[in-house]
Amino acid sequence: MPTKYENIPQLSEINHDLRAYVETNIFPCYARFFSHGIEHICHVICNSLMLAEYYHKDFDIAYTAAACHDLGLKVNRAHHEKASGEIIAADKNLAKFFSPTEIVVVREAAEDHRGSRKVPPRSFYGRIVSDSDRDFELETLAWRMMATSVKNYPDLTTFEEHFPRCYEYMSGRITQNGHFNLWTNNPILIDRREQFEREFLDREHCRQVCEKAYDHMSKDGTFEKILNYYGDF
Q: Is residue 213 part of a domain?
A: yes
Q: Is the dihedral of CA 138, 11, 4, 112 positive or negative?
A: negative
Please give the model's pTM, rounded to 2 decimal places.
0.92
Same domain, 45 and 126: yes
Same domain, 143 and 127: no
Convert the pLDDT of each residue in 105-152 to its tens digit.
999 999 999 877 889 999 999 999 999 999 999 999 999 999 999 999
Same domain, 22 and 126: yes
**Whole-number pLDDT of residue 7:** 62
Same domain, 120 and 17: yes
DSSP class per residue in 177-210: TSSB--SS--HHHHHHHHHHHHHHHSHHHHHHHH
Backbone angles phi, psi at 59, to 5 degrees: -70, -40
CA distances, 214 to each of 139, 144, 161, 182 (Å): 11, 10, 12, 28
Last residue of one domain, picked from the residues 132, 150, 174: 132
Same domain, 14 and 118: yes
**Whole-number pLDDT of residue 8:** 73
Q: Determine the distance from the C-alpha atom of residue 95 to the mean position of all C-alpha atoms in its chain, rounded to a whole number.
A: 24
Residues 117 and 50: beta-carbon distance below 8 Å: no
Please give the Cα distance from 134 to 145 (Å, whole number).
13
**Whole-number pLDDT of residue 1:** 39
Same domain, 86 and 162: no
Which residues span the domain enclosing 203?
138-228
CA distances, 161 to each of 153, 171, 213, 214 (Å): 10, 16, 15, 12
